[in-house]
Structure 1
Amino acid sequence: MFESKYAVPRNIDKLISKLKITTDSHNSYIKFLKKYNVIAFDEDVFDYSIDCQGESLPLEIMFGFSKKRDREDVIANNWMYLNRIPKRSIAIASLNFGDLLCLYPNGKVYHWDHEVNDLYFDMIVRNGYLEQNLDLKLVANSLTNF
């Protein structure tokens, strides 16, 4: 079905512990990380798309553990999007040319749209940022259903 870009690291349990995943609802994601490591989808072929409330969104990369920290690594991406995605959610994939899939503690997967849900700098607003829109679109009730 999927093919990992890299071998699963030998220290996978130590790397997973850095994600601070503690809920049982993340077990399917932990199993996924132990089986696959970075899945890159062909950018020219949109065979791998998700349906998000009637909108087809092309998948780009399912994050894993990688030395290419800026694009593929789950820890680096979550650090980069800290305070930009909802608290306690985990960015697990990139899609739609700048958007993310976020896994919530309840196990549900949501679409974070960078044009809707990101904090935006605005000179008119007092502190410089507009209020964050936390109303993400539901993609799946679980990673398994995704």
Structure 2
Amino acid sequence: MDRIHFVYRSADDEVEIFINGRSLIDLAGAAELPEARRTREPGLAGSYAWLRAAVIRRQLAHFLGTPQASWFGDGDTVLLGCECGDWGCWPLTANIEVSDSMVTWSALRNGHRDWDLSSFGPFRFGRVDYDQALARLADTLTRSAEA
């Protein structure tokens, strides 16, 4: 099982995602680099920004298969946005499937590039641990909104 951790950065009002102790942006950059080199655009690999907490604060179900933001319109969930801060400008998305025992992020893809990211994921999280990580994030976001 993979491990997930959400970190709220109050200075930027953003939520960072870590999988197995590594930043999702770093993981995406490593997965995209071969395709970016192939298309002679190595500087574009991993050029993402974290999601704004203001949107996530309204509905944490975004990470439970009910996306607040989607790019392809097929139920995909935006995990990372563009460096400009707009979720829809340059997103990294995944399909999120939820069962009683597991949450799976699969079919990770970039909204503007037809890059083969088939080696990126899937990520499988135990449902109890995943729910606990979301609960900790919800608590942090609630406290930050009250401050």
Q: TM-score, normalised by structure 2?
A: 0.36
| Structure holding more helix per residue | 2
* Greater Rg by CA: 1
| Structure holding more strand per residue | 2
Q: TM-score, normalised by structure 1?
A: 0.36
